[in-house]
Amino acid sequence: MMRRPTPRANPRRRGLRAQTVGLVLMLRAVWMSASLVVMADTSNVPHPKPPVAKTQEHRSIWHGESVDDPWFWLREKTNPEVISYLEAENAYMEASTVQAKAFGESLYKEMLGRIQQTDLSVPVRRGAYDYYSRTEEGRQYAIHCRRKVSPDGASDPKAAEEVLLDLNLLAQGHSFLGLGGFETSDSGTSLLYSTDVTGFRQYTLYRKDLATGKTSAPLAERVTSFEWSADGAFVLYTTEDSVTKRSNQLWRLALEGGRPEMVLEEKDELFGLGLGRTKDHQWFVCSSQSTDTWDQRILSTSDPKGAFRPVLPREKGHKYDLEHREGVLFFRTNKDAKNFRLVSALVAEPGRWTEVIAHRADVLLKGLEVFREHLVVAEQKEALTHLRIQNKNSAHWVEVDFPEPVYSAHATGTPELGAKAFRLTYQSMATPQGVYDCDLATGRLTLLKRTPVLGGYDPSGYVTERRWVTARDNTRVPLSIVYKKGVKLDGSAPCFLYGYGSYGLGMDASFSIARLSLVERGMVFVIAHIRGGDELGEAWHDDGMLMHKKNTFTDFVDCGEWLVKNRISAPDRLVIEGGSAGGLLMGAVVNLRPDLFRAVHSAVPFVDVINTMMDASLPLTVGEYLEWGNPNEKPAFDYMRSYSPYDNLKPGAYPAMLVTTGLNDSQVMYWEPAKYVAKLRTLKTDARPLLLKCNMGAGHGGASGRYDRLKEVSFEYAWLMTQVGITR
């Protein structure tokens, strides 16, 4: 699942396809204590036996019922027996996937051969500099740089490059490196950045003097967001609780000899704090958000020692965010507007609204970007994003045109308030991502760069289309599909079906270089835009959460059945994948229809729903009661228990399954997939593989280095393809 993220970090996305870091297996697990596992010597037999986790009584009393969980002990991360068990699973996985591993190595070379390894991003103007990142062949991480613009304001490619942050240097001595945030001061003389070196999404904040190149000692730990004051003398930042990882405190630090001062604390466990600034840099905005309620406090960036003031009173069910321009606040609000509307108000009178965009039942207002003379809004209709522009002196809106019927488009953020064009990306499942400038006056697009795909890739050789599935309750569910021209849709093609469906996070119909290795081999790739996301508006999320969560699972099953009925594929040719909250989806649909799918990749899966959601001490749990339900309430408990994958395993045949996790996962703890696999081993009656792959040096998102991550993907794709007979 995607358990919700902190404001700057990713949610416990117990979901979106996020995965983690490279791992060297320790084969000493083969010889570990027989009291923990029983495992054959694999050196003399062709088929190794899987490890068998010991069982140990552990009883919980839930609503008067005593429930035994014999694999509960796998939560003991510091217990050597737990580590030994995970290593034994890794060793078994290695011994069981010799063919897939060799195929994966071949795929890795193929995928890498399509990537321009030494590359440069399109520069973004901020003040007197163009900022960009670049990669170098053979190096895992990006290098963040800038160049000074010429006196007339034009980009100057001949100006000396200034390296701001070389992540390859920061990663030395670490198996993992995550960059949490990266902000230069308004003067351009200092840099704030935060890093995580474990994969646990626990970030340390640093300051770098860009004149001397010297980096400070850590300014703060467990930092979730941060911003500069206007004069660069103060840093404001939010931190998370050390146990629950809830972002709950806002701090102020004077950089010259000051001590951190707590500015405010969010005591309601359903809410988390995040800090930002308005685009014009005039206001700090401290957001406090729960699933169904958002509120904002503001403070002038020129008065960092002042007190934040609420913009509007907190009101249960009211969600809003804001931007600012010339004394006017723009609110994206759901007040009397399920799919949000846009209103404006003077800073001095934030409760007196003027409507800018009225609510529409069939259009979701997703975002707003302000410019000195224009507004840009992102809206979603029928699972497609539309971008519109308005001149502040006109009521007329200009819509940006995109050429394909199924695509992904996003405004990426243009820092300069006075810009004449805004930056966006456009791609489809067949068209590689392009970076564009869009003229604010006309909506005309100028392509600045398209992601290169080496080896002569031609988008016209592929078909991408939108199909609609009628679910069992007559709800229409969209599918995004891509396949190679010439593939016969007669039931013989292998098919890869992906889904997520949680937290109101819709899935994009985006391009993937790695995915070409599937499609080139005749696979049909499909994204099921099931309920629980936001592809069809806020109601789409509502219909896939709380006491409607099972719609997410039945939608996915209905999509799989549609693919079979319409001869896109067949059950013995259909593989599925989901991660985090999407891993919950995988577990639920396999329990519902194990006969419908040939193989499953379940990544960092949220499968032990009841144990996790009954434990308020775990990261992110209490804040997610509003997404999943509070199991301390009997009706919610009964409903959640009825779909929890771990609690609904039963004897029978299951698809082939690869379950991946990370030892340092803070969103979905490693023990959920470990317990799930251990229990399923005792129940499955078929001979299909059941594998657990635990990255011992990463967390929820998989490997942090680009080459390491690609190796993980290539193995996962190779394993899924071998299950449907594709071995080269």
CA dist list (Å): 284 to 135, 227, 277, 575: 33, 8, 4, 47
3-class secondary structure, 573? helix
The reply to whether 242 belongs to the active site is no
Residues with Cβ < 8 Å from 403, sequence gap 6 or more? none
Coil, helix or strand at residue 663:
coil
Q: Which pair of tokens denotes residue 561?
A: 């059945």
DSSP string, 412-467: -----TT-SEEEEEEE-SSS--EEEEEETTT--EEEEEE--BTTT--GGGEEEEEE
Q: What is the CA radius of gyration of the chain?
A: 26
CB atoms within 10 A of CB 565: 11
Cβ pair 637, 631 in contact under 8 A: yes
Q: What's the one-letter identity of residue 187?
A: S
Q: What is the 3-state secondary structure (H, E, C) of 539-557?
A: HHHHCCCHHHCHHHHHHHH
Mapped onto helix, strand or coil, the DSSP state of residue 675 is: helix
SS3 at position 643: helix
CA angle in degrees (0–180, nearest 5) for 302-306-308:
100
Place of tokens 């840093």: 235
Is 374 part of the annotated catalytic residue set?
no
Mark whether 69 is an active-site residue: no
Active-site choice (321, 534, 647, 665): 665
Instruction: Count Cβ atoms below 10 Å from residue 466 Cβ, excluding itself.
Output: 17
C-alpha span between 51 and 38 (Å, rounded): 6
Q: For residues 385 and 238, what is the distance between their CA atoms, to the nearest angstrom?
A: 32
Pair type for strands 656-662 and 599-603? parallel
Q: Using an 8 Å Cβ cutoff, are 51 and 692 in contact?
A: no
Residues linked to residue 374 through DSSP beta bridges, in sequence order: 391
Distance CA 86, CA 64 (A): 33
How many of the other CB atoms lie within 10 Å of CB of 276?
A: 18
d(CA 603, CA 659): 6
Written as one string, the DSSP assignment of 479-490 is EEEEEETT---S
Helical pair 581-592 and 550-565, crossing angle rounded to 10 deg: 60
Here the tokens at position 68 are 């035994």
- 441, 420 Cβ separation under 8 angstroms: yes
410, 529, 541, 700: the active-site residue:
700
Contacts with 46 (C-beta within 8 Å, 6 or more apart), sequence order: none
In whole angstroms, give the CA distance from residue 91 to residue 42.
10
Kindly state the helix (H) or strand (E) to which residue 180 belongs, with its residue range.
strand 178-184
Query: What span, in angstroms and rounded, lies between the C-alpha atoms of 207 and 192?
Result: 5
Backbone φ and ψ for 543, nearest 5 degrees, come out as -75, 0
Of 133, 247, 580, 602, which residue is the catalytic one?
Answer: 580
Q: Residues 515, 111: contact at Cβ < 8 Å?
A: no
| Residues classed as catalytic | 580, 665, 700
